Amino acid sequence: MTHDEAAELLAAMALDALDTDAHTNVEEHILTCTECQRELDSLREVASAIGNTYEAPPEGLWSKIATRLYETDPTDVPSPPVFLGDFDPAGPSDHHRTRRARGLLLTVSLAAAAAIIALGITLSNANARVANLENALAGNGHNGVASALATPGHKVVTLSGTDHQVLASFVLLPDGRGYLVKSSMPSLPSSETYQLWGIVNGSPVSIGVMGSTPHAVAFTLATSPAPTEIGVTVEPAGGSLTPTKGMVASGEV
């Protein structure tokens, strides 16, 4: 399997939507391709974040997404949307185009979901349309941090490691929204992710995964009572329901 062929199937692999043969071929390719390893890790983070966090999209986001997606070549995006089950390759000459369409549809769906659920989480994607969308969402995430720091009643929480070295800081708003302000946590391999936890009545509650290299993360604290502490652990890619390791960084709220 070539690099381009594998890259087109990464989104489907992140959703466990590949058949056995395709999954094996992609898995063999990513063992020697760091670019595809990072891409698959990012897609899996978004798929996991869909079940962990929710944040209402800013006004006008959908129109901005539509503008970005159609900016380069409108004929490449099916309209009306075509469900994956409706693809019917007519012969060998259509097979490659069908796989490209399937990969594009899944990747765009994941990117749009990430924008609604966690605007700060971005995807590194080779597809030009999704790269344009990523740049727009990254700008929105930066504005979210700046806006949060200017909001009355905000609180900055500093997380330190076991050696008391500051590893990350977050800004929390009175309505429960939170943003990663900065992080000096080292990058993890693609098989691992940082996961954020709130300590409520002495027990950890998952806030969401932050990826292997946290740089732009948004989340919502929906627990009652509110956590008295937040911390970070290193977990397998995709996250965990409960911490499997000790906190690498923590701080009082």
**For the segment 36-93, what is each residue's pLDDT rounded down to a tens digit?**
888 888 787 776 655 444 455 566 666 666 666 555 555 555 545 444 444 444 444 4
Task: Compare 143 and 197 and report the one with higher pLDDT.
Answer: 197
**Can you give the pLDDT at residue 110?**
56
Nearest to 195 by CA among 177, 173, 212: 212
Angle at 186 between CA 245 and CA 242, to 5 degrees: 20
Q: Which of 65-79, 119-133, 140-154 has the lowest mean pLDDT?
A: 119-133
Helix axes 92-117, 61-69, angle to 10 degrees: 160
Concatenated DSSP letters of the chain: --HHHHHHTHHHHHTT-S-HHHHHHHHHHHTS-HHHHHHHHHHHHHHHHHTT---PPPTTHHHHHHHHHTSS-GGGS-SS---GGG----SHHHHHHHHHHHHHHHHHHHHHHHHHH-TT-----SSHHHHHHHHHHHHHHHHHHHHHHTSTT-EEEEEE-TTS-EEEEEEE-TTSEEEEEEE-PPP--TTEEEEEEEEETTEEEEEEEEESS-SS-EEE---SSPPSEEEEEEEETT--SS-SS--SEEEE-
Nearest to 230 by CA among 162, 170, 149: 170
**Can you give the pLDDT at residue 209?**
92
**Can you give the pLDDT at residue 31?**
87
pTM metric for this prediction: 0.47
Question: What is the pLDDT confidence band of residue 103, given thresholds at 50, 70 and 90?
Answer: low
pLDDT above 90: residue 229: yes
**Can you give the pLDDT at residue 8?**
86
**Can you give the pLDDT at residue 220?**
86
pLDDT tens for each residue of 166-202: 999 999 999 888 999 999 999 999 999 999 999 999 9
Q: Is omega for the bond preceding 186 within 30 degrees of 0, making it cis?
A: no
Residues 6+ apart with CB under 8 A from 119: 55, 57, 58, 137, 140, 141, 144, 218
Domain ranges of the chain: 3-147, 151-252
Count CA atoms within 13 Å of residue 4 on its CB side. Answer: 4
